[in-house]
C-alpha cells in the first residue's frame, strides 16, 4: 500500500470552502484540545453544539475565549448552512453524525494526548521512512490502519479509523498463538485492575504469574483489594513507576473527594498543567489545587527475575510509553516477549521511534496494528509478536 498523505492545510481548506459559519460539535476533552489548533489555522467557531441538554444556553469557557453552546436544533435554525467540525469521543461519534444528517460534517480531533498539536507534514525523506514502516508491518490490515492513523495525526480526521475499528479490548485474537500457559503477564499501568480482568478472560486462567505495576498509591490500594477479594492466584501488585532509568519523577496531584490522585508526569503526561486539553473551567480558576510529588522510578529490566518466563507485556499509559518500552529492552532482546502498546497515542516522537525500536530489539517480531474502541476511546494498538 502506497501512503497518500493529506496535510492539515488541505483539511482546513476543505472545511472553509464556501465560507459558511463553522460550528464545533462537542465541549469535552477532545474539543478543548482541538480548539487551539483550529484557531492557529484560522478557523474560529461561531459557536459550539452539544447533545447534552444540561449545556444548552450556557457558555463554553476555554483559554481562548467564551463561546455559546446550542442544541443541534438551535444551531440548524440559527446557522442553516453551517459546517460542523466534530470533536467527540469514539463512543459518541455515531449518534452525533446521526443528529447532523444533511449537514456538512468533518471529523477533526487533536491526535496526541500529550503534544497538543498535529504531526508536522513529512518531507520527502520522512515520507520514505513512513513508507518503510508501513512495508514492515505484518499484514494488509495493519498497513490500512497505519495509513489512516498517520493521516489522523496529520489532519485530525478520525472517521477513517473509526470505520475500520474491530473489537473493544486490548487482547486481540492475534495474541493467542504466542501465549503459553506457564508465562508471566506484566501490566505496566495496571490502573484499578480493569485490564487484568480482560487478560484473565483472554487466557482463560492459563498463566504462570501476573505482575501489576502502578504508580498511583490509591490505584494500588484498589488493585490490592481486587486481588485479595477475588483471590486471583499468583498475582503480585508492584507500587512504583516504570521508566527508562532509575530516577525520580515529578507528578502533579489533584484533590478529588479527599483523595490525592496522581494525575501527571510534569514533563510527559497528558494531564500536565500547561496542556489546554486537560483544563476544565474549575482548573483554570483554581490551579492552586494542584500539588506536586516526587516518586521513584526504575526500569522494568531491573525489577523482574531474569529467569522468569515473561510472555507478554502491556504498556498503556498517558504519556511516557517509549520511556517504559526502552526500560524493557533487555527483556525484549532476551525473551522476545509479546508487546501490547498504544501506538503513538500521546507524543509525536512515538510515530518515528516505536516501530523501529521494537524491530531493532527483536528483528523477528511481527508488528501488527489494530484499531480498538476501548472505554469510549478509539486507540491504535500495536502488537509485537
pLDDT at 198 over 90: yes
Q: Are residues 71 and 217 in the same domain?
A: no
Q: Is 315 helix (H, G, I), strand (E, B) or coil?
A: strand
Kindly state whether residues 108 and 200 are assigned to the same domain: no
Average pLDDT, the chain: 89
In a domain, 43, yes or no: yes
CB 249 within 8 A of CB 323: no
Residues 189 and 307 in one domain: yes
Question: How far does CA 290 lie from the centroid of its chain?
Answer: 23
Whether 306 and 363 map to the same domain: the answer is yes
Please check the confidence at residue 7 and state whether its pLDDT lies above 90.
Answer: yes
294 found inside a domain: no
CA angle at 245 for the pair 242 and 246, rounded to the nearest 5°: 80
Same domain for 102 and 17, yes or no, is yes
| Residues comprising the chain, all counted | 385
Residue 26 lies in a domain: yes
Task: Tell me which of 112, 129, 163 is where a domain ends.
Answer: 163
- Please identify, among 133, 163, 193, the residue that sits at the C-terminal boundary of a domain: 163
131, part of any domain: no
Cell of 275: 496542556
Confidence of residue 253 (pLDDT cuts 50, 70, 90): low
DSSP per-residue letters across 186-232: EEES-TTSHHHHHHHHHHTT--SEEEEEE--HHHHHHHHHHHHHHT-
Query: Residue 292's pLDDT band (boundaries 50, 70, 90)?
Result: low
Q: Are residues 157 and 64 in the same domain?
A: yes
Same domain, residue pair 101 and 195: no
Residues 45 and 95 occupy one common structural domain: yes
Give the separation between CA 195 and CA 170, rounded to whole angstroms: 8
Residue 227 maps to which CATH number? 3.40.50.150
Same domain, 228 and 209: yes
Q: Is residue 3 part of a domain?
A: no
What is the pLDDT, as a whole number, of residue 263?
42
Of 139, 163, 187, the residue at which a domain comes to its end is: 163
Alpha-carbon torsion 128, 130, 136, 140, what sign? negative
pLDDT at position 375, please? 83
Q: Cα angle vertex 272, ends 86, 249, to 5°?
A: 145
Q: Residue 257: pLDDT above 50?
A: no
In this structure, is residue 19 part of a structural domain? yes
pTM > 0.85: yes or no: yes
User: In the predicted model, is pLDDT for residue 279 greater than 70?
Assistant: no
135 in any annotated domain:
no
Note whether 32 and 105 are same-domain residues.
yes
Q: What total of structural domains would you count in the chain? A: 2
- Give the CATH number for residue 63: 3.40.50.720
Work out the pLDDT band at 34, boundaries 50, 70, 90: very high
Please write the tens of the pLDDT for every residue from 309-345. 999 999 998 888 999 999 999 999 999 999 999 999 9
pLDDT tens for each residue of 81-104: 999 999 998 889 999 999 999 999
Based on the domain organization, do 16 and 94 belong to the same domain?
Answer: yes
Does residue 270 fall inside a structural domain? no
Domain check: are 159 and 245 in the same one?
no
Is the per-residue pLDDT at 376 higher than 90? no
Residue 80: give the domain boundaries: 8-121+153-163
Mean of pLDDT values over 219-243: 92
Sequence-ordered list of residues with C-beta below 8 angstroms from that of 120, at least 6 positions apart, any chain:
348
Amino acid at each position: 500500500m502506497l501512503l497518500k498523505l493529506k496535510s492539515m492545510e488541505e483539511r482546513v481548506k476543505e472545511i472553509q470552502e464556501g465560507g459558511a459559519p463553522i460550528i464545533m460539535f462537542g465541549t469535552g476533552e477532545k474539543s478543548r484540545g482541538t480548539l487551539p489548533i483550529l484557531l492557529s489555522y484560522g478557523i474560529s467557531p461561531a459557536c459550539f453544539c452539544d447533545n447534552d441538554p444540561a449545556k444548552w444556553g450556557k457558555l463554553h469557557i476555554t483559554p481562548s475565549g467564551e463561546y455559546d453552546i446550542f442544541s443541534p436544533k438551535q444551531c440548524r435554525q440559527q446557522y442553516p448552512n453551517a459546517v460542523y467540525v466534530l470533536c467527540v469521543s469514539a463512543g459518541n461519534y455515531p449518534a452525533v453524525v446521526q443528529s447532523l444528517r444533511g449537514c456538512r460534517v468533518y471529523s477533526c480531533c487533536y491526535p496526541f494526548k500529550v503534544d497538543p498539536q498535529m504531526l508536522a507534514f513529512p518531507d520527502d525523506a520522512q515520507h520514505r521512512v513512513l513508507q518503510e514502516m508501513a512495508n514492515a508491518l505484518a499484514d494488509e490490515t495493519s498497513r490500512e490502519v497505519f495509513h489512516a492513523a498517520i493521516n489522523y495525526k496529520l489532519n485530525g480526521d478520525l472517521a477513517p479509523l473509526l470505520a475500520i475499528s474491530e473489537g473493544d479490548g486490548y487482547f486481540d485474537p492475534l495474541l493467542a498463538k504466542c501465549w503459553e500457559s506457564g508465562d508471566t503477564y506484566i501490566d505496566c499501568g495496571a490502573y484499578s485492575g480493569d485490564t487484568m480482568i480482560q487478560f484473565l478472560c483472554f487466557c482463560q486462567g492459563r498463566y504462570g504469574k501476573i505482575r501489576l505495576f502502578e504508580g498511583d498509591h490509591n490505584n494500588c490500594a484498589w488493585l490490592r483489594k481486587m486481588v485479595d477479594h477475588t483471590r486471583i492466584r499468583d498475582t503480585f501488585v508492584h507500587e512504583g513507576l516504570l521508566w527508562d532509568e532509575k530516577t525520580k519523577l515529578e507528578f502533579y496531584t489533584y484533590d478529588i473527594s479527599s483523595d490525592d490522585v496522581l494525575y501527571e508526569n510534569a514533563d510527559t503526561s497528558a494531564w500536565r498543567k500547561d496542556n489546554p486539553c486537560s483544563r476544565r473551567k474549575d482548573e483554570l480558576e483554581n490551579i492552586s489545587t494542584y500539588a506536586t510529588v516526587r516518586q521513584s522510578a526504575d526500569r522494568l529490566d531491573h525489577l523482574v527475575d531474569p529467569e522468569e518466563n515473561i510472555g507478554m507485556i502491556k504498556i498503556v499509559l498517558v504519556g511516557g510509553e517509549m520511556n517504559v518500552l526502552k526500560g524493557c529492552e533487555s527483556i525484549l532482546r532476551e525473551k522476545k516477549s509479546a508487546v501490547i502498546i498504544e501506538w503513538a497515542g500521546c507524543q509525536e516522537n512515538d510515530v518515528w521511534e516505536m516501530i523501529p525500536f521494537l524491530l531493532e530489539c527483536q528483528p523477528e517480531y511481527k508488528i501488527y496494528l489494530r484499531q480498538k474502541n476501548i472505554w469510549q476511546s478509539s486507540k491504535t494498538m500495536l502488537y509485537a509478536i
